[in-house]
Structure 1
Amino acid sequence: MKRIILLLTAVLAFSSLLAACGSSGSAPKKFVIAYLPQESDEKRAEINKDFETKLYQQLGVPVESFKATSYNAAIEAMKNSKADLAVFGPFSYIVAVERAKVEPIAELTLPAMAGKPASVIIVPKNSPIKTVADLKGKTFGFVDPVSTTGHLLPKAVLVKQLGITPKELESGFFKEVSFAGGHDKAVLGVVRGQYDAAATASMIPATLESKGLIEKDSYRVIAESESLPGTAVGIRGNLPQDVKTKVKDFLLSYNYPEYFKNAFGSADAKFIEANDKNYVRIREIAKSLNLSPEDLLK
């Protein structure tokens, strides 16, 4: 009998070990959100804090956040288990999947942007620049190497409209190319004369204008990109499955128009089921421009 009891004890212990090994990771003592470099203000910070409080009530562990200095910094934080969640643009999402094993937990859909250009190239209102061909020899501001609307799409637009290769664009077409570090900074760089032209998400200039941060009609749009799928919400892949489930349930049931209006510029926005297939087109564009994660995140 004693041997049988010992055998059963060993079997139970081994089963527990297997169960532990089969889990996605240890339960976190806190949950950290990384906010990507975007246009921001006090109201957005306030609305983000309310979001974090509600998520805390769902998870039962403290929810913290930080503003990443770059898309790369947010992705590296996810890779090194320093951040657990981020709302990525489509391009930064596919880089995060490959580089940091991020998983899609939900998708942010913006009905107001459906079928509309996702990215624009702008110049100062009184600039002599009329077309992308006029940008030759000029200074240009992108947002971030891993920004969808601030780098990937506008670069694709330039290559297509100019009829040149990515290599030709990067080797002498512009006088100087900079990365502003944020969509608002790219727009302000144009309005203030720092850049002859810049790329940004199509909604950003009007948003800055409505908030009085730039003067009305202080810029002109000279080129537009194609539309985009929804924005991916990525979660750290090695979190326990029960945590992922709780976060997913929270997002899919989150219905606060004021949050979506202040955080993403549209009260009609909402979180829906994630679908990685929506980003096939983005992967194709990245491949055509020779933009790989390893090159972007050096």
Structure 2
Amino acid sequence: MKRMVSLLLLVIMSLSILSACSSEESGEMKKFVIAYLPSESSDESAKLNKTFEDKLSETIGLPVESYKATSYNAAIEAMKNGKADMATFGPFSYIVAAERAGVEPIVGISLPSLANSPASVIIVPKDSDIQTIADLKGKTIGFVDPVSTTGHMFPKSMIVDELGIDPEELETNFFSNIQFAGKHDTAVLGVVKGQYDAAGVSGMYPAMLEAKGLIEKDSYRIIASSGPLNATPVGIRHTVPDDIKSKVKQFLLGYDDPEYFENLFGMADAKFIEVQDSDFDNIREVAKKLNLTSEELLK
């Protein structure tokens, strides 16, 4: 009797697996899941995200749900394992996601107000004796996330280019300690509160936190700045059916809610724009220069 029950369970499990595979192969989806990062979480953003999700759901004819990712790596793994279908990445985390999880760019996010502003800055406390990048030797630094463009790749690239040192030396012999804060605002606050001697963050965050009253005016100094960033990619899982991809893309390109863009991206004039994978080849070149690979970053 036990053997019969076991065989029956095995048959049911096999049929379930085959059914799931058949459903995926036929292009059927029961829901569409958006992965959100910690920096995209607040009461206000949750409301705006819900409105966004409801409107997207109406467009694609599927329930739209959210997945709270703890980091870029978590979002990438969720998309790789089919637990999430779309997420907003930085250019660097996007190329890691494309390589590791087959993620494709569905649209990009353009920030016209920052077109001529530095994408990334290195900041120090206002009363620090650090004046130049060379003065960072032997100091502690806070980055944001290993796969953050403006909170890791660009600051590191600025240091390597300025000093002409090997990236490996930067990792092992230059700083006394390297930490990852997880979020841009946490890294900025880490500098202001003395947790780090310096931090590499998105260029818009220090002023944004100052405007919100979260840090005092002139509580930090910028010692280095990068060039501007053209666009931030929104990635979609490559196995999402083409008809759903098309509907999602058209929805995003036509989405116009200044409050949504202001809250999530810091700029009311932000908008979704057309992009393609090759637009981020320059980021791949910088990653290659810094010896940053997905295998190392996603350990």
The verdict on a shared fold, with TM-score over 0.5 as the criterion, is: yes
Counterpart residue number, 1:208: 209
SS in 1 for 2:39: coil
Counterpart residue number, 2:269: 268
Counterpart residue number, 1:162: 163
Q: Offset of 1:25 from its aligned partner?
A: 5.6
Contact 2:40 2:264 in 1 (8 A): no
Q: 1:218-255 CA distances to partner (integer Å, 9 max, x unpaired)?
A: 11111111222201111000011111111011101101
Q: Offset of 1:40 from its aligned partner?
A: 4.5
SS in 1 for 2:295: helix
In 1: Cα distance, 2:173 partner to 2:26 partner: 48
Give matches, 1:131-210, under 5 Å: 131-210=132-211
- Farther-moved stretch of structure 1 (35-44 vs 241-250): 35-44
Contact 2:115 2:228 in 1 (8 A): yes
Counterpart residue number, 1:14: none
User: Is 1:217 the equivalent of 2:234?
Assistant: no
SS in 1 for 2:190: helix
In 1: Cα distance, 2:163 partner to 2:136 partner: 10
Counterpart residue number, 2:9: none
In 1: Cα distance, 2:194 partner to 2:155 partner: 20
- The verdict on how the C-alpha distance between 1:24 and 1:140 changes in structure 2, with shifts beyond 3 A counting, is farther
- The verdict on how the C-alpha distance between 1:236 and 1:196 changes in structure 2, with shifts beyond 3 A counting, is same
Q: Offset of 1:29 from its aligned partner?
A: 1.4
Letter in 2 for 1:112: S
Contact 1:145 1:296 in 2 (8 A): yes
Q: 1:192-224 CA distances to partner (integer Å, 9 max, x unpaired)?
A: 111110011000111111112111211111111
- The verdict on how the C-alpha distance between 1:25 and 1:146 changes in structure 2, with shifts beyond 3 A counting, is farther
Counterpart residue number, 1:93: 94
Q: 1:110-148 CA distances to partner (integer Å, 9 max, x unpaired)?
A: 111113210000111111111111111111101001000
- Farther-moved stretch of structure 1 (175-184 vs 266-275): 266-275
- Farther-moved stretch of structure 1 (59-68 vs 171-180): 59-68
- The verdict on how the C-alpha distance between 1:33 and 1:39 changes in structure 2, with shifts beyond 3 A counting, is closer
- The verdict on how the C-alpha distance between 1:247 and 1:203 changes in structure 2, with shifts beyond 3 A counting, is same
Letter in 2 for 1:249: Q
Counterpart residue number, 1:64: 65
| TM-score, normalising length: structure 1 | 0.90
Letter in 2 for 1:75: I
Q: Offset of 1:24 from its aligned partner?
A: 6.5
Counterpart residue number, 1:292: 293
Contact 1:120 1:221 in 2 (8 A): yes
Q: Offset of 1:272 from its aligned partner?
A: 1.2
SS in 1 for 2:34: strand
Contact 1:90 1:229 in 2 (8 A): no
- The verdict on how the C-alpha distance between 1:24 and 1:209 changes in structure 2, with shifts beyond 3 A counting, is farther
In 2: Cα distance, 1:39 partner to 1:217 partner: 26
Structure 2 gaps, min length 5? 1-20
In 2: Cα distance, 1:145 partner to 1:200 partner: 12
In 2: Cα distance, 1:245 partner to 1:140 partner: 42
Counterpart residue number, 2:118: 117
SS in 2 for 1:28: coil
Contact 1:93 1:232 in 2 (8 A): yes
Contact 1:39 1:204 in 2 (8 A): no
Contact 1:121 1:199 in 2 (8 A): yes
Contact 1:102 1:237 in 2 (8 A): yes
Counterpart residue number, 1:279: 280
Counterpart residue number, 1:106: 107
CA RMSD, aligned part only?
Answer: 1.7
Q: Offset of 1:102 from its aligned partner?
A: 0.5
- The verdict on how the C-alpha distance between 1:139 and 1:56 changes in structure 2, with shifts beyond 3 A counting, is same
Q: Offset of 1:67 from its aligned partner?
A: 2.8
Report the count of equivalent residues. 279
Counterpart residue number, 2:128: 127
In 1: Cα distance, 2:155 partner to 2:182 partner: 16
Contact 1:24 1:241 in 2 (8 A): no
User: Is 1:77 the equivalent of 2:78?
Assistant: yes
Counterpart residue number, 2:52: 51
In 2: Cα distance, 1:155 partner to 1:25 partner: 45
Contact 2:104 2:277 in 1 (8 A): no
In 2: Cα distance, 1:202 partner to 1:25 partner: 45
In 2: Cα distance, 1:36 partner to 1:24 partner: 29
